[in-house]
Amino acid sequence: MIKVRGLVAWRVALLTVLIAAIAAGGWLWYDWARFARSPLAVPGPGQSIEVARGMSFKDIVGALRERGITRNSDLYWRALAFQMQASGRLHAGEYALRAGMTPRDLIGDMANGKVLQRYFTIVDGWSFADLRRALDAVPTIDHDLADVDTTELMKRLGTEGEDPEGRFLPETYAYVKGDKESAILKRARAAMDKFLDGAWPGRAKDLPLASPYEALILASIVEKETGRADERPRIAGVFVRRLEQRMLLQTDPSVIYGMGASYTGNIHKSDLTTDTPYNTYTRVGLPPTPIALPGRPAILAALHPADGKELYFVARGDGSHVFSATLDEHNRAVACYQLKRCK
């Protein structure tokens, strides 16, 4: 009888342990499932985590824990990676931490190499110097061209001896953290070549432009003269007719470019008479290089200028221009809009 009672007690104890183990396992399973689908504690927008090469899974979870993004143990994270068949195949890189993102989302991004895409925009009308300053100010780029002069920079880009002005296409370029500055410039350089070479064969007939590079120079002048889409072809037309008639282009942006650091915000009469390779008041024809980075619309305007007889234009002061076919008309427009002597 005692043996039976002992056996019953042992079975009851074993059953109790089993029930407790099942309950504990069930709770762990429930808690783990809750962890996998619950949003991480992302503190705000623009957050990311960087996974360096050779970084262990423990290090990744530790970095998340240090920033308060997760409080869960390595075991939960490892179990989730195992369940997602992601163990051992997380990619290095920078990953966005988005609002509402779950651990499952984050591991999925890392397993698929869905790294954070960043963007750098080259603005229409920037000079090459502006472009370099903008790149220098981006902390997430590898500045492999820092302190490199222009000659050496173009050599490293594989375009030795080429002037950089105008050679990089203004648009937005995607990159990932750690990409090299030289890689972004190479892409922008190739994009300009591709666009210009593609647009050149379809140019208007009988343009006084000997090469795509001359079109690029003209486009840079158009770019600096106006930001209005409706005026670009008209301004290009003015300069094309002046080139055809061997007239001086007389474009202030080119003069200013030639002044370099001596330009302080105002252009004087003496500046217009001081000869430089870029002074289109003293030299006939196009300047020797572009004076800015022209965008696609300015390039297309240079290749497809508007027809007409206009040879002059003057700024109204509101961003638009008055166009004239004769010098007398132009002088009246200058008197009205520049000297405020309208009749």
- In this structure, the answer to whether residues 162 and 215 fall within a common structural domain is no
Separation CA 277–CA 258 (nearest Å)? 7
Range of the structural domain that residue 232 is part of: 204-338
The pLDDT score that the predictor gives to residue 36 is: 83
- The beta-carbon contacts of 135-138 under 8 Å, at least 24 apart in sequence, are 135/181, 135/184, 135/185
- In this structure, the answer to whether residues 318 and 227 fall within a common structural domain is yes
- In this structure, the answer to whether residues 78 and 149 fall within a common structural domain is no
- In this structure, the answer to whether residues 180 and 300 fall within a common structural domain is no
- In this structure, the answer to whether residues 254 and 293 fall within a common structural domain is yes
Which of 180, 198, 216 represents a domain boundary (last residue)? 198
- In this structure, the answer to whether residues 131 and 239 fall within a common structural domain is no
The pLDDT score that the predictor gives to residue 12 is: 54
The pLDDT score that the predictor gives to residue 324 is: 92
Asked if residue 3 is part of any domain, the answer here is no
The pLDDT score that the predictor gives to residue 182 is: 97
Map residue 75 onto helix, strand or coil.
helix
Determine how many CB atoms are found less than 10 A away from the CB of residue 75.
11
The pLDDT score that the predictor gives to residue 238 is: 97
Asked if residue 169 is part of any domain, the answer here is yes
Which of 173, 198, 223 represents a domain boundary (last residue)? 198
Which of 67, 90, 115 represents a domain boundary (last residue)? 115
Locus of tokens 């024809």: 285
Please tell me whether the overall predicted TM-score, pTM, comes out greater than 0.95 for this model.
no
Residue segments in the chain with a per-residue pLDDT below the cut of 50: none
pLDDT tens, 278-308? Answer: 999 999 999 999 999 999 999 999 999 999 9
pLDDT tens, 123-135? Answer: 999 999 999 999 9
The pLDDT score that the predictor gives to residue 4 is: 55
The pLDDT score that the predictor gives to residue 37 is: 86
The pLDDT score that the predictor gives to residue 158 is: 94
Q: What's the total number of domains in the chain?
A: 3
The pLDDT score that the predictor gives to residue 156 is: 95
**What are the residues whose beta carbons fall under 8 Å from the beta carbon of 79, sequence distance 6 or more?**
32
Helices 2-37 and 74-83: angle between axes, nearest 10 degrees: 80
